Amino acid sequence: MTKQVYFQDVAVGGELPSLMKQPTSRQLVMWAGASGDLNPIHYDKDYAIKRGLPGVIVHGQLAGCFLGQLITDWAGDGGNLKKLTLSYKGMNFPGEALTCRGVVTRKYVEDDRHFVVCNIWVENPRGEKTVTGTATVTLPAGD
């Protein structure tokens, strides 16, 4: 994996390395199977249209778990995800490029543990935030 990030190296306002994703309809089917989310709006176009949707949409929680990956990629093996909150604000469509981003909003030490809080979001090609949330992680302190 990439180099470990340490608490002492993190600054409020600092950006996390972004993560690009482009879920395909094939990935949605894999996700339906792996996650148990078998809502047909994610793989059955006729059904989705009948429900008033423009077509098949990406599972909110798949896009949300992309943000989980953004965090575990950044925090590395030495970091721990303590809390993740996600709000599904808009629909994502298969084939669209999604960019997962994060920015550090707070850092603090409690009980000798080093916490960092980030705002995180998924951005579609039109710059709209379709999933927003926060992540709290602990990081190793550093030297």
Partner 1 sequence: MADEASKLKEKVGLELEAVVCDIEKGTLRRFAQALGDPNPLWQDEEYAVKTRYGGIIAPPTLALTLGFSRIQQMLTSDPSLTVLHGSTELEPYQPIRPGDVVTVSTRIARVRERPGKMGSTLFVTFEITCRNQRQEMVARCRQMAIIY
Contact positions vs partner 1 (CB under 8 A): 1, 21, 23, 27, 30-31, 33-39, 41, 51-52, 59-62, 64-66, 68-69, 72-73, 77-78, 80-88
Query: Which one, 11 or 115, has the nearer CB to partner 1?
Result: 115
How many beta carbons lie within 10 A of that of residue 13, not counting itself?
7
How many beta carbons lie within 10 A of that of residue 83, not counting itself?
11
Beta carbon of residue 13, minimum distance to partner 1 (angstroms, whole number): 25
Query: Which one, 1 or 13, has the nearer CB to partner 1?
Result: 1
Local structure of 143: helix, strand or coil: coil
Beta carbon of residue 11, minimum distance to partner 1 (angstroms, whole number): 24
Would you give the DSSP letter of residue 15? B
* CA gap 93, 9 in Å, rounded: 36
